[in-house]
Structures are given as C-alpha cells and as structure tokens.
Structure 1
C-alpha cells in the first residue's frame, strides 16, 4: 500500500476523458450556470459561468438530456484567448469547502493515474468479443461511462491496483479469521461447519479447524470469516490490533482456492473452479460514489432477499418460462459485528462475506455471457463490441429482442410484483447464443432493491427484515428497502436502466451506425407498448408508475459527491412515451 508517486499526465487520454466527464456531469446536473448556443452544424456551444471564471465547450445534448462533449472544456481568458481548462480550476468553481474540493481533486487524479497505468502496462486485446465471461469481467477496464471518478480506488497504490484490480488478472488467496461467535452474524443455509465444508472441500475445512486450534481457538467459540488480503493488511495495521491482542479475532492464514477481482472490485471469482461461488468482500476503498464496505445488516438480508425473488420468478410463468430470467442467488453470509467494544463503530462493515452463485454455473452449451455495460464499448478495431451481432441480425431486430429480454423483465418485476431492481450495466448479464440475445441473469440484490408495501402483489412473501438484523427494527421508511412512494421505485428503474445505461448504447449506435437516438427510443417505446397491450399486468398498475411522465427526477451523482448530501436529484426530459412516435 505504498503511496502513488507517478504524476498524472495532464494531456493523456485518461486526463482528457476525466475532464470531459467532469464537465458533462456539471452540465447535466446543472451545477453551474450555462448558456447554450446552437450552431447550424448541429453542435451546441456551452458557455459555463463559474464563480470566478468562464469555461466553454462544444458538444450536444443527447437522450434524457445527457451531455456529450467533443471539444473542451476550455477556460476563457480575456475576450479572445482560450486554453484547455485544468481540473483544479473546474473543481474550484464547484465548492468553496476546501476539504471536499481536495478530496474530489484527489479522486480525479487517482483515476487518471490508474488509467494511465492501464494504458502503459496492460497488453491490449484487439477484440474482447469472443472472450469467456470470466475473461471478459477482467477485460472491461473502461469503468463508469458517466462518473468522472470512474477508477478512483482511493486507498489503492499502483502495487495494489496491479495485484487486486481486475485489469492485470492477478490471482490471490483469501485470508481467514476466527471471530468470537457472539461477535458474528451468520446466515447460512445449513449448519456452519457443514456449509463451509461443502463450499471449501474437506481438506481446506480440516486445515482451517487445525489452524484455529493452533491459534488457541475452539470451534464451539469461533466462527470462520474470509477477508480480502488487501483489507486484512489495511485493518491489521490500524483497527484490529486490540481485537487480536484480546483474542477476539484470530488470524488463521490463507486457505482455499485462488480468486481474482471482477469489474466490481470487491466481488471476487474463483479462478480454479469457475462454477463455484463468487464472494463479495468489503473493501475500505472509495470508488465512484461510495466506500466499498458492506454493512452487516445488508449481509444478513441477502439470503432472504434472494429466496424472495426466486419465489416470485418461480410463481410467474412470464418471467420463468417466456422470458427465462434468472437471478444469481446470494445464498449465504457472515459478518463480524463486535458489540460492547470500543472499536465497534470503526470496524462496522469492514469484515464479512456474501456467497453468490457464479455466472458460469448458469450457462448452457453454446451460450456466451456478456455484462450489459460491455454493449456500448468500442474495441481496438474501432468498431462497437456488438457490431458483429448487429451486422448478422440487423439493428432493429437485434435491439427489439434485447429490449424484450432485458428491459421488460425489470418493468414486469416493478409493475406486476411491486419490486424495483437496480438493474445497471454491471448487475445485468446478457446471455447470447451466436450473438442473439436469449435471456438475462440478474445479480447484486442485497443493497439494490426497493418496494412500497402497499404496491407489492404478494405482501406475505416480503422478508421479515426486523428478524434478520436489529438495524431494521429501528429502520425508517426510505432508509432501507421499503419506500414511501412509487416515485422512488420508478426513479431507481429509470436511472439504472435508461438514464445511465441504455443512453450509452443509443449514443454509440448513432455515432457508429447512424441509427438515430430517436429511432432507438422509438423501439424501446414499441416494446413497452407491446408488453402493456398484452395486459399481463392490470393497466392501472402500469399507469400508476408513470413511466412515460414528460419530466422525471434522476439521481445527481456528482452533486452528491461535491456537497456530501445524499439523495440529490435533478429533473430531465423523459425519452419514453413520446406521442409523436409510432411503432
């Protein structure tokens, strides 16, 4: 975890991208005043008024008002001079609060440094189109297409990035700890010893038990918890010294199969047995908008939520048989949550694990799994990742099928069952056969579903969250999974499926295939209308969601980072339900 010494190159590809995405987010979220001047060639000149200086850039507004810049941002000096704006200059105009300003600048420059490292150190793959899912997870190095801190990983050094980032595809073994039973939250589908022996295999289980005994612990007094090796090093140096000294936490060593990181960083996949569980492990690292720890109450809720969602799928012939949607069960969890210790608060969410089914375990012969966020990416040959699929099947046919099997299930979960899924590009896996979309696999539910109880179809199936963890007993509406309004559910779906995901695809198809965004969103409308016309869901439930409201609220990702406030939103024009469009 040595400090990062390499300076960010001010005009590298990554630096220019960070500048561009920073200004695009500022304009989209209306963080600064702007004057827009439309030119005859279709471009828009954006003149941005900071508190102490002016900026100018050229681009256009795309679907949902998203900003796409192709020149700038420049800083205006005097009446006629311009130069490329420095990142510090832009951030300086956003806030006068010095601590937040410096934290944002640090994350932006860390993003540049790590991206520059990728550019110089990684071997480029001419095409990622034929990669197996496990290889593809590591090869999708672009990061968030909207957030300017798309690869901040605050807390990582270059060495950490090399060893524990997905890009270098380095494998590592997990650290195992023994923690006192009274300080552990355990949610296994069976008795702990039987479960871990089944997951790890008898030899590893026996080695763990022996290590526990040699460290002075007994099976009757301790639970086993896996820890990411980076996390262990960070915690051992600071937060766990007292717990280790008192024998509340026992270091057992590194055991079991080798793992490597996925694009979500804290989720690791088994490189020796691809069909075995992926593990979600807390990391005290800041990336994009949040610290990547996992609170114990979310670990406790994960298995119950998975059972709930599977019960819904199994009960619904449309989801199970016609659309074929699947979910990756988060079927077990364990967390360290000490009580009555002075380090309680500091260690909260830092040690724990969720076991989740792997993508390869769901695939059939001849199928390829592709994370949805890969679809708009550009390969080294200059063409889109999905270019061969579109050329083979035709753009309209391929898109219509994509929307049927990816967009409609999420809408159906909400309209029919009253559950909103955070179905962003990493959480939805597209399953194709020879490039044709067949179905989707959904994942990552422990912190990314919402519901309004009065709108849930089968309320008796809702997990009894208050019995899973004490945090839920005092939980307020809009704090955890249960919301006060349908607007909150609609916003989650609109943000993750449309505003921050499919807009990337609609934009790139216009650039590469001259397939206009208007045509793209017209197809989305057609698929949704066809679904509504079948009346699989009572019309009044769909209407209550107001998916086609002319103006909708969307999450302001950069604003939250700049202000430190949660639940920041701004209004955008909705692309869905335009009356002028016909199928």
Structure 2
C-alpha cells in the first residue's frame, strides 16, 4: 500500500480528531501535568512547598506566582536521586479558591517566567506540548495494548506499543512538520506499513561508504529485488542517464514530498537527483521516527533517513559529513568488542551501521559555514537487523519497554518479572549483568561511552529474562573520553576531551539519572522491589565487576561510581532554553546545564 491511499482528499477530515474527546483529554493532561510537576521539580525549576506529612508521603503545593491565587497541590514521595514520585490522582489545581481542570498548556503559560522560556520560543514549545497530548490521546484511544499483552508480544508490536517517549522530557512527541495524515502514516505508534521512496543520486554530489566486507552492489542487490532494480535502471536510461553514474538511495516519503522535491528542486531539475518511485518492501517506523524496520523481510537492514521534522529539541536530519565515517566507526567498534573476552562472554554486541550515503546540496554546503539542519536533509544509512542473531527461545524488545506503563498504570517490567517465574531481585540482577556490566567494562577498559538510553538498546530475553544486550545508534553517539587507546585518524571525531571530573557522567547521568531513576521508582511504586534493594543490586553489579578486574584499580579511584554526589544534568532546561537545537553538536559539553548536585544512592554501599 502506498501513500496515495492516504491522500488528504480521500482521508475523512473527522478521522484526524477521532481519538480526541473530553475524557481522554482530561486523562492525558493529568498525566502530562503530573510529569511536568515531577520533572520540573527534579530539575529545581519548580520548588514545591511541603504543607504536611503522612508517613512517607508529603502534601506539597506550588504556585506560579508567590502569594498568587493559582495553586497546585499534590501528594508525593521523595525517592532516590531526588525523584518526585507523585500520586497523579491527588493533583488538584485551584484558581481564586475554585477547582480548575488540569491543563498542561495552561501550566506552561502560568510558569513561563519561572521556566525561563523566551517568548520567541514559547509558541513552538506550546505546539510541541499540544502534539505530545495529541499523540498520547491516540495511543490511549486507538492503540492501547495492556502491559500483560506487551510482555509476551513480538518485537514490532512492543515497538509500536510504547506510549511515553523519552522519560525525562515533557514535550517528547513534538514531531512538528507532520500533519494529521502524516501522523497516522509515519508515527511509530500508528504501526502503518510504509514504502520507502528511492532516489538515484549523482556520484558527483553524493558519497557512498561501507564497512570493508560490504560493497555497494552487494548491499543494493540484497535490499532490492531484481524486478525493482530493473525498473529503476529502466527509469534512468529512458531519461538518457547512465545508471553507473548514480547511487540508489532511500528517502523518507515525507521528506521527499515536503522537502526534497521542492527545496532541492535545482538538483532535481538538473538530474542530479532522480525520483525512482517506491520500493516493494514494507517497513514500520521505529521509535526514533527516522528509522524503518523491514517487515517484508526482517533479515534485511534497518533503513535510517534524514527527516526535517522538529522533535524533542532537534531537527531530525542526518549529516552527510558524519555519514562519511559512520561505517568505519562501526567496523572499528565491532572489532574492538568482538575481540574482548569479557564482552564476548557477556553476549554484549552492537548493531553495525554497515553503509551510508550522504548528499551535499551545493547551495547550503557552500553558503552555510556553521552546522545547520539544512545541511542534513538528504542522507541515509543501513543498519543490521537483530533478528538473524537470535537463538532458539530468544526474543527481543526495546529497553524503553522496561519503563512502560499502560493506561491503567500497570508496568510492563512487573509483568515481565511475573511471567519469568523469578523473584524481582534475580530478574533485576540478570538485567544489570546484561546491560550495566558491559557499560562499566567499556568505560574502565577503553574509556568508551555510549548513549545507552532505552530507545538505543535492545534487550534479548529468554523465558522473559534479559540474557544479553545489543547497542545501536553507534556512529553519532559513541565517544572515547580522554582515552589512551589508539583511534584511526579517519574516525578521530569520536575522541573527546573533557574535564576529568565530568567523565563519569556518561554513567551517572545517562544511566543512573535518566534511566535507573525511573526504573527504581516504578519497581518501588508497584511494590515489586524496594528502591533501596534496587540500588543495592546496582552496587553489587559494579562491585562484582571491580573485584573480578583488579587491573583497573587506579581508575576505580579516579572515576568512583560510589562517590557521595554527582552533578544534576537538567535536560528540560536545555529544551526550554532552545527547542530548535538543544545542543551545539560540535561542542555538546559546553551546552549542558548542570544545576547543583544529586546524592548518589550508591554512596552508602561504598
């Protein structure tokens, strides 16, 4: 099925809003207000006042203006890492003493001055909040799958069944650029089959790179069937063009219709870019939006394409400059990991980005000296599929699923633990061995850091228990931090120099604060595992590794994951400061916002 069946003229206009209604709108607003109060308080943007206590719970209030007549009250527990565990049902808002419905957009406006968002940025941020609410309503009304069902579901059902997006960001499903038809075509939760647009791009303007063992002809013949290849070559020859002068390149359909055909019109007109039509395979959009999974043949590669949609602080393009070295980075890292006895025994691996094409549009390439989203409109890469790696009785899920709750508040991780037959401690220990232990090893052995958040990692499960982990999104998101190992000159961009005391933040922030903080809270709130025991297991995992590897003792002292405190990295502050581009990607460390420190829950286990 191609896009023509979903043209706006044949798409009933009322379908665009069929999932919206008073009850679901009330539910999703309560959820987002709950999240905003919790995360803004965690980042010290809001300072709720404790009014009363009852056991572990406190009643808090927060006002947009001191002594103002609008007040939010709620009950909360303060958990490890200053996590605000708020009971959503207790949140109330009063204006001039009268109860007022919870409204996430109103909350942003009321606290706009406190949030520090500039007026020029405010409309876009409000739009991102609106689209986040729009998507949340769709997920609850039309795509809801219970956690019990998801715990036993296949990979793509789980991928499409996620409802939250990034656990930290409030406006985490912005996708500005998609209209209501696009949403049902390309949002991962819509799970609509997509056919990719294929382009022929001139070798004068585009560069193809790949790992050593894979050349262009072998890649394309494995991705496109003979009939499709023949039709594409026929299209070129009928235009009087030589197919040998072109690379075949996938593009996101939205990008072709909304950007490339128009913005790149000069190169289309001059036949540097030729649209060949749709490929025959069907794909599903993944949580990262710009990545597609082949559902016609799941042994084929993922395809990742640039798409000029604003989502969570960035335009989601792909840099042709980075594409030049992406396969080489993946090849180097794969060789490093494969030769490591500890990682091999642990089963840790990566999904290699095996080939890439980057297209340089001369007007932007020459005219724009600095980094710009306009330079990242037309690139693509191919990434290995995890399915061929699975053994009998193994299945996979995104690690983001570990934080998932369904609309009834049932957590997927609790259902997984129940289905495994293990007690919670044993399950969490297995998970930490599969996920955390390899990250700790890479850090201490190679000074190597990943971006190991939920969407970037695939968990391999056997009998519902994590047995190993597969990391993805390698080319853009790994780094050797103040490292001493030799890195080939062509991939030197992965080497970073930063303040030594900030180096452990790749674990403290990316793992502890941005993932374990939520996982430990979910386990604690559902009475599956007390937070103290969770952090005790984290400590045991790290201590076991350190005991087994005394050769890195000096690094254990310099980079102490049992330190009393570590810096509080505030991600929402980044987005509020600049929701068009949160970080200077050429110098990300200087863009980050650190506000105070967090007490390290591992300190007591030193």
Any idea what SS the aligned residue of 1:127 has?
helix
Work out whether 1:464 is the aligned partner of 2:490: yes
Match of 1:109 in 2: 130
In 1, the alpha carbon distance for the partners of 2:49 and 2:168 equals 22
Work out whether 1:369 is the aligned partner of 2:391: no
8 A Cα contact 1:279 1:353, kept in partner:
yes
Work out whether 1:561 is the aligned partner of 2:575: yes
Question: 1:103: how far off?
Answer: 1.2
Match of 2:468 in 1: 439
In 1, the alpha carbon distance for the partners of 2:501 and 2:323 equals 27
Any idea what SS the aligned residue of 2:266 has?
helix
Greater Cα offset, 107-116 or 379-388 = 379-388
Work out whether 1:91 is the aligned partner of 2:91: no
In 1, the alpha carbon distance for the partners of 2:504 and 2:204 equals 40
Q: Do the aligned partners of residues 281 and 431 (structure 1) sit closer, same or farther apart at CA in structure 2, a change above 3 Å counting?
A: same
Q: Which has the higher helix share?
A: 2
Match of 1:416 in 2: 445
Give matches, 1:66-145, under 5 Å: 66-71=83-88, 74-75=92-93, 77-78=95-96, 80-81=97-98, 83-84=100-101, 86-92=103-109, 93=111, 94-95=115-116, 97-122=118-143, 124-125=145-146, 127-145=149-167
Instruction: Give deviations 1:176-195, integer Å, cap 9, x for gaps.
Output: 11222121121124443343
In 2, the alpha carbon distance for the partners of 1:387 and 1:97 equals 41
In 2, the alpha carbon distance for the partners of 1:121 and 1:89 equals 26
Q: Do the aligned partners of residues 394 and 252 (structure 1) sit closer, same or farther apart at CA in structure 2, a change above 3 Å counting?
A: same
In 2, the alpha carbon distance for the partners of 1:220 and 1:243 equals 18
8 A Cα contact 2:81 2:601, kept in partner:
no
Q: Do the aligned partners of residues 576 and 416 (structure 1) sit closer, same or farther apart at CA in structure 2, a change above 3 Å counting?
A: farther
| TM-score computed with the length of structure 2 as normaliser | 0.86
Any idea what SS the aligned residue of 2:317 has?
coil
In 1, the alpha carbon distance for the partners of 2:116 and 2:281 equals 47
In 1, the alpha carbon distance for the partners of 2:347 and 2:118 equals 50
In 2, the alpha carbon distance for the partners of 1:49 and 1:396 equals 40
In 2, the alpha carbon distance for the partners of 1:407 and 1:101 equals 38
Q: Do the aligned partners of residues 240 and 338 (structure 1) sit closer, same or farther apart at CA in structure 2, a change above 3 Å counting?
A: closer
Q: Do the aligned partners of residues 325 and 119 (structure 1) sit closer, same or farther apart at CA in structure 2, a change above 3 Å counting?
A: same
In 1, the alpha carbon distance for the partners of 2:239 and 2:566 equals 57
In 1, the alpha carbon distance for the partners of 2:602 and 2:490 equals 37
Structure 1: any 5+ residue segments left out of the alignment? 467-471, 473-479
Q: Do the aligned partners of residues 347 and 219 (structure 1) sit closer, same or farther apart at CA in structure 2, a change above 3 Å counting?
A: farther
Instruction: Give deviations 1:245-270, integer Å, cap 9, x for gaps.
Output: 23222111112411111122111000
In 2, the alpha carbon distance for the partners of 1:237 and 1:304 equals 31
Structure 2: any 5+ residue segments left out of the alignment? 1-6, 583-590
8 A Cα contact 1:127 1:380, kept in partner:
no
8 A Cα contact 2:29 2:102, kept in partner:
no
Question: 1:76: how far off?
Answer: 5.0
Match of 2:377 in 1: 350
In 2, the alpha carbon distance for the partners of 1:215 and 1:341 equals 27
8 A Cα contact 1:451 1:489, kept in partner:
no
Any idea what SS the aligned residue of 1:142 has?
coil
Question: 1:430: how far off?
Answer: 1.3
Work out whether 1:17 is the aligned partner of 2:46: no
Size of the alignment, in residue pairs?
A: 564
Match of 2:358 in 1: 335
8 A Cα contact 2:143 2:161, kept in partner:
no
8 A Cα contact 2:568 2:598, kept in partner:
no
Work out whether 1:277 is the aligned partner of 2:306: no
8 A Cα contact 2:458 2:469, kept in partner:
yes
8 A Cα contact 2:565 2:600, kept in partner:
no
Instruction: Give deviations 1:296-346, integer Å, cap 9, x for gaps.
Output: 22222321221121122122101112x111110111100111235689657
8 A Cα contact 1:308 1:463, kept in partner:
no
Instruction: Give deviations 1:333-367, integer Å, cap 9, x for gaps.
Output: 00111235689657411111111111212211110
Question: 1:108: how far off?
Answer: 0.4
In 1, the alpha carbon distance for the partners of 2:21 and 2:314 equals 23
Work out whether 1:288 is the aligned partner of 2:288: no
Give matches, 1:247-258, under 5 Å: 247-258=271-282
Q: Do the aligned partners of residues 73 and 90 (structure 1) sit closer, same or farther apart at CA in structure 2, a change above 3 Å counting?
A: farther
Match of 1:60 in 2: 77
Match of 1:242 in 2: 266
In 1, the alpha carbon distance for the partners of 2:308 and 2:502 equals 28
Question: 1:446: how far off?
Answer: 1.6
Any idea what SS the aligned residue of 1:553 has?
strand
Match of 2:331 in 1: 307
Any idea what SS the aligned residue of 1:532 has?
helix
Give matches, 1:476-487, under 5 Å: 481-487=495-501
Instruction: Give deviations 1:21-50, integer Å, cap 9, x for gaps.
Output: 222221111124443455133223343353
Work out whether 1:578 is the aligned partner of 2:603: yes
| TM-score computed with the length of structure 1 as normaliser | 0.89
Give matches, 1:357-396, under 5 Å: 357-379=384-406, 383-391=410-418, 392-396=421-425
8 A Cα contact 1:133 1:360, kept in partner:
no
Question: 1:514: how far off?
Answer: 5.0
8 A Cα contact 2:29 2:103, kept in partner:
no
Any idea what SS the aligned residue of 1:355 has?
strand
8 A Cα contact 2:284 2:293, kept in partner:
yes
Question: CA RMSD for the aligned pairs?
Answer: 2.7
Match of 2:586 in 1: none
Any idea what SS the aligned residue of 2:307 has?
coil
Greater Cα offset, 97-106 or 85-94 = 85-94
Work out whether 1:403 is the aligned partner of 2:427: no
In 1, the alpha carbon distance for the partners of 2:555 and 2:357 equals 38
Q: Do the aligned partners of residues 14 and 50 (structure 1) sit closer, same or farther apart at CA in structure 2, a change above 3 Å counting?
A: same
Q: Do the aligned partners of residues 51 and 368 (structure 1) sit closer, same or farther apart at CA in structure 2, a change above 3 Å counting?
A: same
Question: 1:84: how far off?
Answer: 4.3
In 2, the alpha carbon distance for the partners of 1:541 and 1:341 equals 45
Match of 1:475 in 2: none
Greater Cα offset, 196-205 or 221-230 = 196-205
